[in-house]
Structure 1
Amino acid sequence: MRKINRALAVTAGALVLSGLLPLQSAAADGAPPKLWTFCINGWSGSLFDPAEKPVTVPGGEDAGSGCWLNYRTADDGKTWIGTDLELTLAAESVAASGYTPQQLARMLLVRTNYSATEVGKDWTGRPWTVTPDGALKLTIPACTNNCTGVFLQISGAPREQQAVLKAQLKATSPGYDPTPLPMSFDYFGRAGTQPVTFGASGTFVPVTPGRLLDTRNGTGAPAAKVGGGRSANVRIAGRAGAPAQGVTAVVLNVTATNPTMDSHVIAYPHGSARPTASNLNFAAGQTISNQVTVPVGADGTVDLYNNAGATDLIADISGYYVAGDGGQRYTSVSPKRLLDTRDPWLTPGTGTRPFGPVGGGRSISLNVAKTHPDAKAVTLNVTATNPTTDSHVIAYPHGSARPTASNLNFAAGQTIPNQVTVPVGADGTVDLYNNAGSVDLIADISGYYSATGSKFVPTGPTRVLDTRQTPGKRLGEHEELYIQPNSWKYGIPPFGVTGVTMNVTATGGTSDSHLSVFPEPSCYHFPGMWPEYSNLNFTAGQTIPNAVTGAVPTLNSCGGNTWGDSVGFYNHSGTVDVIADVSGYFVED
């Protein structure tokens, strides 16, 4: 029975199993198999039979808990009998929870160890099916591959009120009595936990970049700088290809230019409370851009708030999210360098020109279809380095008219990145156009949109990392740190999340350096295996953000309550403080 300790649940909420009745079977010897269930309260607690003692899991924490289920013969207690199981949560209880069936299906997450047909898939997630009457149902295949039981892990999000959710567990294999075994989930929250706010999960509609706001010339707003403590309101609905109704979130490239003093911009849905997390930081006189994913207000608009001084603001749309399946789904990938004009081994996939800087008024084509033939849009981190003059880069689908909206602005001699989400041309390529001078361009892929993948849930900014506060230690040279952004303490489900959108900020660096953000699925970290790509470049003393769409690895049990499911941050040189704010997540359905 010690095996339960090797892989226990990340759980919030409380679970009570009751009424453990033996299920009958037409066994050859006539002895009915008994359902033996042993549970554990917390990863270091003792095993017990819940027929004698209830299972109580602390609410609102990523703590370990789980149950061990199986049938065995009543005579010797050693012969284990495998059977398929079915778990059903009654429609009345779903309604009493205060959530929709779809929301509760994401909050009560079930994982079990592998079965005979799932060798190597340890701790497989069991998706709920919503029945026509509003109940939730899932199946657990028999564990017959030298297993000594089924480990059942249930994770419930915290909530303020208490609700008893009634369920049934029954055997479905032939020869077993299908009499249901009653179960109940005593579900409650704990004070101080992060409330769970579910946005509508949706899919992405990419568009050729279009300008929605330019305060320099009156596009979308009066032709005047945005003053300190003031906001520019940007209409999304019904513009640049976005529908008049149904837009849940928008992807914008926001640029500040001609600022009179150091400041920052915060993007948020109009009509909502303004968050404290910034999206764009800039110095007086600087022109700088950052990609922003932000929920859209009920009136179809978003606000761009300037903290101090006065600045011109520009906003270009790259795409938008709609509820349901009207758009494309996202697939996260481990970041990979697709283009580096400094490197002869990373010449463009089209092979149309040699490596080397991209001249003014020239474009370079990047073949996305070579590695992702089904991609309809792609998320890239594009970096400009060694520019000979002030310029900008425009990313757009190959074969389309080049838009006027820029994605990346830079000064002579500057190295600066920006995340770009851009549709893929009909031939599977995208173009990167340099306006003036010459510049080396680098492109790292972090994911793509296609007919398959995950849906997006916008959350608004939630801080998941700030080294100035926790752990209170700056990230050193060639050092890495790890966080789990998919956690109930941030209002995000711990399981089923495949990626997150983050705004990552570097501040107070002691030398010129860069940050790399990467998925870390391993139970063991090996510092020194440094990524070949970067997400954020900065100079000593600079405060600069960049959008990062990062993959979240599938949970792997490392034993006890330790999981290999981290997102890693690596710093190349000097020391620096790092801040990360999640604005949404991608989830399987």
Structure 2
Amino acid sequence: MRKTKRAMAATAGAFVLLGLLPLQSAAADTAPPAKLWTFCINDWSGSLFDPAEKPVAVPGGEDAGSGCWLNFRSSDDGKTWAGADLELTLAAESVAASGYTPQQLARMLLVRTNYSATEAGEDWTARHWTVTPEGALTLTIPNCTNNCTGVFLQVSGAPRERGAVLKGLLKATGPAYDPAPLPLSFDYFGRAGTQPVTFGTPGTFVPVTPSRLLDTRNGTGAPVGKVGGGRSANVRIAGRAGAPAQGVTAVVLNVTATNPTMDSHVIAYPHGSARPTASNLNFTAGQTISNQVTVPVGADGTVDLYNNAGSADLIADISGYYVAGDGGQRYTSVSPKRLLDTRSPWITPSTPARPFGPVGGGRTISLDVSKTHPDAKAVTLNVTATNPTMDSHVIAYPHGSARPTASNLNFTAGQTIPNQVTVPVGADGTVDLYNNAGTVDLIADISGYYSATGSRFVPTGPTRVLDTRQAGGKRLGEHEELYFQPNSWKFGLPPFGVTGVTMNVTATGATSDSHLSVFPEPSCYHFPGMWPEYSNLNFTAGQTIPNAVTSAVPILNSCGGNTWGDSVGIYNHSGTVDVIADVSGYFTQD
């Protein structure tokens, strides 16, 4: 950001010396209205040009896009700056000629500026188009209040095959400016073979106390009997466990496989859609294992759980669902932080009501979320069980509610295993974690929470964004980190305005017992820091195991040229391991 500001200041100064920027007299009564001066650059390279004379190139499917400097300087002493709201409008005629509806184009053509009027110019802000009754697109860039030398406006477009030149007007609305609009145009072009991104419907989350929707062992939600290899269990979501009969866009399920006869995997996907290749749950013969799944709901209100090989009993417990619009809660991502660790008296101090140490069988430990997030209605945690003395399970539920029968985490004696849990918060701001048998140490790391403010969720279905086994990939070594950008047009996600992603992260081919930690990396330059104190995925040598991860995504910034900073990082503690990540949806600003 500082580099961008310095570059803008230097550019503005150069324009003044060249006579390209008008200087005003200090006398307000004789000074002519200041004119907007706009100069653009294509693909973050090449020469500046006037967009009134040459179209701004917007290559479909490239995150970098193009940008323009909008210069505000109107004083000859270099100290007084005049600011005004700017309005950018794309003409209805050229929008119609693009071949897309205004509503489609408004989501395909993204704009952001390099300051926020509410945060003193320290971030990039995504701007959203408004569709006028005539079919034009318009957006407002608020007055810069931070003594700006100008604003950098960046444009990026979703993949597309056909091209279109979009005619536009840029005008300042303040009285200190010439009211005449500045004409400019955008050449939005694509490449043969590319397809427009299919955008999902943004929605909000409705948490529910965990409830069982499917159990093939006893016929809950399906006929009694294991799901065979190459077969699917269909799970109805709409109209059950408090979910409405219509309008459910996605569901959060805890899916468990038990009694499998062979090594296999389960794929969760919306009924009626093509089955993806990305798996959600991997297991070995005889194993009982769970994983949280966020999956779009089919048009008929159901989802399918497909078993690849052998036969296995499948269980599905709902913890919440998404609805279109604002009928539910919004999500706020946070940097991962450890809130509970019964092994540590510093993180989980002893109290008279609950002595320090493992959680006994039939006992519960409470986690107070209100201390750090008093407005949270539900919370997303990575819950890990370690050092268990017996086979058991953990149930997460809102404090003050009846304990459900649906489990969140299953484990065997001596095993260390995590699972992501999304659970409502009790009226007093706490969540309970119940251990069924034996004793076990419990760890809980927060990654985000749901409240009245934050971002809305867009389901995508599984999309592979990382696979170190592919050509050009590199196994993740001991104490090494890798970085990748999931919010990219090449994965069907918009590069601007994404605040977080839901992923299924899988470790496979590990050479030793280890764990992975997933974290947002808001930097153009990656300097591995101290080893993270939290984990998202624990595994043993040779094991293939996934876990759901909800990660914050930093605001996308340029590091110069077409190089982008800000990414999601993954750290490996020991040995070497291949890592796979599949995005199932993303959180976005309004």
TM-score normalised by structure 2 residue count: 0.91
CA deviation digits over 1:96-146, x for unaligned, max 9? 556565554443222223378753424333343444555433222455755
Matched letter for residue 278 of structure 1: S
- Residue 320 of structure 2 is matched in structure 1 by 319
Q: Is the 8 A contact 2:393 2:407 kept in 1?
A: yes
Q: Distance in 2 between matches of 1:467 and 1:353?
A: 44
How many positions carry a matched residue from both structures? 576
Secondary structure of 1:60 counterpart: coil
Match of 1:362 in 2: 363
* Structure 1 counterpart of 2:512, one-letter code: S
How big is the shift at 1:47?
2.0
Equivalent residue, structure 1, for 2:46: 45
- Helix, strand or coil for the counterpart of 1:346? coil
Sequence identity, in percent?
A: 89
- Equivalent residue number for residue 448 of structure 1: 449
Distance 1:522 1:358, change over 3 A: same
Is the Cα–Cα contact under 8 Å of residues 70 and 80 in structure 1 kept in the other structure? no
Q: CA deviation at 1:181?
A: 2.6
Q: Distance in 1 between matches of 2:181 and 2:502?
A: 42
Tell me the distance in 2 between the aligned counterparts of 1:118 and 1:225.
55
- The equivalent residue for 1:337 is 338
Q: Structure 1 stretch 253-262 or stretch 132-141: which is displaced more? A: 132-141
For the Cα contact (< 8 Å) 2:65–2:156, is it kept in 1? no
Counterparts in 2 of 1:390 and 1:53: CA distance versus 1, 3 Å: same
Tell me the residue number matched to 1:13. Answer: none
Question: How far off its partner does 1:154 sit?
Answer: 1.3
Per the TM alignment, residue 370 of structure 1 is displaced from its structure 2 partner at its CA by: 1.3
Indicate conservation of the 8 Å contact 2:261/2:285, yes or no. yes
Write the deviation string for residues 315-374 of structure 1: whole angstroms up to 9, x where unpaired: 111111000111111111111000000001122798731221111111111111111111
Q: Which runs of 5+ in 2 are unaligned?
A: 9-19
- Whole-angstrom distance in 2 between the partners of 1:101 and 1:564: 31
Amino acid paired to 1:381? N
Residue by residue over 1:497-541, the C-alpha shift from the partner in whole angstroms, topping out at 9 and shown as x without a partner, is 110000000000000000000011122222142110000000000
Q: Residues 129 and 57 of structure 1: is their aligned pair in 2 closer, same or farther, counting only changes over 3 Å?
A: closer
Distance 2:336 2:184 in 1: 44
Counterpart CA distance in 2 for 1:351 and 1:104 is 61
Give runs of aligned pairs for residues 410-449 of structure 1, distance below 5 A: 410-449=411-450
Determine the C-alpha separation between the residues in 1 that align with 2:117 and 2:367: 44
Partners of 1:537 and 1:488 lie apart in 2 by 31
Give the structure 2 partner of residue 70 of structure 1: 71
SS at structure 2 position matched to 1:297? coil
Is the CA contact (8 Å cut-off) linking 1:7 and 1:559 kept in structure 2? no
Helix, strand or coil for the counterpart of 1:241?
A: coil
Correspondence for 1:15? none
Give the conservation status (yes or no) of the 8 Å contact 1:6–1:558: no
The range that moved more, 220-229 or 561-570, is 561-570
2:328 is paired with a residue whose SS is coil
Residue identity opposite 2:426 in structure 1: G
2:208–2:242 CA contact under 8 A, matched in 1: yes
Alignment correspondent of 1:14: none
CA contact 1:466–1:580 (8 Å) conserved in 2: yes
What amino acid is the match of 2:60? G
8 A contact 1:331–1:454 mirrored in 2: yes
Question: 1:395-440: CA deviations, max 9, x gaps?
Answer: 1111111111110000110000000011111111111111111100
* 2:555 aligned partner: 554
- How many Å separate the matches in 2 of 1:350 and 1:192? 64
Indicate the SS of the match to 1:170. Answer: strand
Cα distance, 1:468 vs structure 2: 0.6
Retained in 2: the 8 A contact 1:193–1:489?
A: no
Q: State the 1:158 CA deviation.
A: 1.8
Distance of aligned partners of 1:118 and 1:291 in 2 relative to their CA distance in 1, 3 Å threshold = closer
Match of residue 14 from structure 2? none
Q: Which moved more, 1:440-449 or 1:175-184?
A: 175-184
Q: Which range moved further: 179-188 or 476-485?
A: 179-188
- What's 1:583 paired with? 584
1:285 is the counterpart of 2:295: no
Amino acid in the other structure paired with 2:181 = P
Deviates more, 1:189-198 or 1:166-175: 189-198
Structure 2 residue 233 is the aligned partner of structure 1 residue 238: no
User: What residue identity is the alignment partner of 2:462?
Assistant: P
Whether the 8 Å contact between 2:161 and 2:195 is mirrored in structure 1 is no
CA contact (8 A) 2:267 2:279 kept: yes
- State the TM-score, normalized to the length of structure 1: 0.91
SS at match of 1:503: strand
Match of 2:530 in 1: 529
1:126 and 2:127 matched: yes
- Distance in 1, matches of 2:305 and 2:117, equals 54
Q: Equivalents in 2 of 1:144, 1:239: separation in Å? A: 50
| 3-state DSSP of counterpart to 1:190 | coil
More moved, 73-82 vs 140-149 = 73-82
Q: 1:140 to 1:442 in 2, by over 3 A?
A: same
Question: Conserved in 2, the CA contact under 8 Å of 1:380 and 1:443?
Answer: yes
CA contact (8 A) 1:215 1:222 kept: yes
Query: Alpha carbon RMSD of aligned pairs, Å?
Result: 3.0
CA contact (8 A) 2:396 2:421 kept: yes
Higher alpha-carbon deviation: 321-330 or 339-348: 339-348
Measure, in 1, the Cα distance between the counterparts of 2:375 and 2:240.
Answer: 27
Residue matched to 1:218: 219
Contact persistence 1:229–1:305 (CA under 8 A): yes
151 and 358 in structure 1: CA distance in 2 versus 1, 3 angstrom threshold: same
User: 5+ residue gaps in structure 1?
Assistant: 9-19
1:17 matched to which residue of 2? none
Give the stretch that moved more between structures: 55-64 or 199-208: 55-64
More off after superposition, 457-466 vs 51-60: 51-60
With over 3 angstroms needed to count, the CA separation of the structure-2 counterparts of 1:515 and 1:75, relative to structure 1, is: closer
Distance 1:88 1:141, change over 3 A: same
Distance 2:562 2:5 in 1: 8
Q: Does 1:504 align with 2:505?
A: yes
For 1:493 and 1:549, the matched residues in 2 are separated by 17
How far apart in 2 are the matches of 1:436 and 1:73?
73
Moved more, 261-270 or 67-76: 67-76
Match of 2:37 in 1: 36
Q: Is the 8 A contact 1:211 1:316 kept in 2?
A: yes
Mapped to 2, the partners of 1:459 and 1:301 lie a distance apart of 16
State whether residues 72 and 148 of structure 2, in contact with CA within 8 Å, keep that contact through their aligned partners in structure 1.
no
Q: Output one character per residue of 1:173-203: Cα deviation in whole Å (capped at 9) or x when no partner.
A: 1143323333333323223546411111100
- How far residue 450 of structure 1 moved from its aligned partner, in angstroms, is 0.7
Contact 1:270 1:301 in 2 (8 A): yes
> Which range moves more in the overlay, 556-565 or 450-459?
556-565
Instruction: Please state whether the residue corresponding to 1:489 is helix, strand or coil.
Output: helix
Report what 1:308 is aligned to: 309
